[in-house]
Amino acid sequence: MFFWLAVIVVGLVGAVADVAINQWSLTDKLRWWVVGAGGYLLFMTALGLTLKAGMVHGYPLTIALVLVLLANIAFVAGWDVIFLGTSLGFYQWLGILLAIGAVACFELGAVRAK
């Protein structure tokens, strides 16, 4: 349970850093860069700890990393759609569905391997 919570939290921290850097690029205000840079430092530290926890619980590096990045992308996409009014196209929605399918395949593969 801790591992899955860590995956979501780490993905969210990375997304906040991504959004802050995006705000910095739009406004050129130093405070957004500081938040983004600090967020990336926190993200990378938490990512390392999450990967370590994943290894302890038997999750291969690839699966742990892909799941963190999928959570990060989901949060950033949500931010773009909800707050910036971005409209996702057909292939972008297809990509989201394929990513969800990838997570399902990881889980099904893990169940079968046991």
Q: What are the CA-CA distances from residue 103 to residues 1, 27, 62, 67, 96 (Å)?
A: 16, 36, 12, 7, 11
The average pLDDT across 104-110 equals 75
Per residue in 67-104, pLDDT tens? 888 889 889 999 999 999 999 999 998 988 898 888 77
Domain residue limits, the chain: 2-113
Give pLDDT, residue 113: 60
Please tell me the pTM assigned to this model. Answer: 0.80
Q: For residues 61 and 76, which has the higher predicted lDDT (pLDDT)?
A: 76
Give pLDDT, residue 42: 97
Per residue in 15-50, pLDDT tens? 999 999 999 999 999 999 999 999 999 999 999 998
Question: Is 11 within 8 Å of 39 (Cβ atoms)?
Answer: no
R_g of the chain, CA atoms, integer Å: 16
Point out the least confidently predicted range of 22-26, 34-38, 52-56, 58-62.
Answer: 58-62
Q: For residues 39 and 58, which has the higher predicted lDDT (pLDDT)?
A: 39
Which amino acid makes up residue 84? L
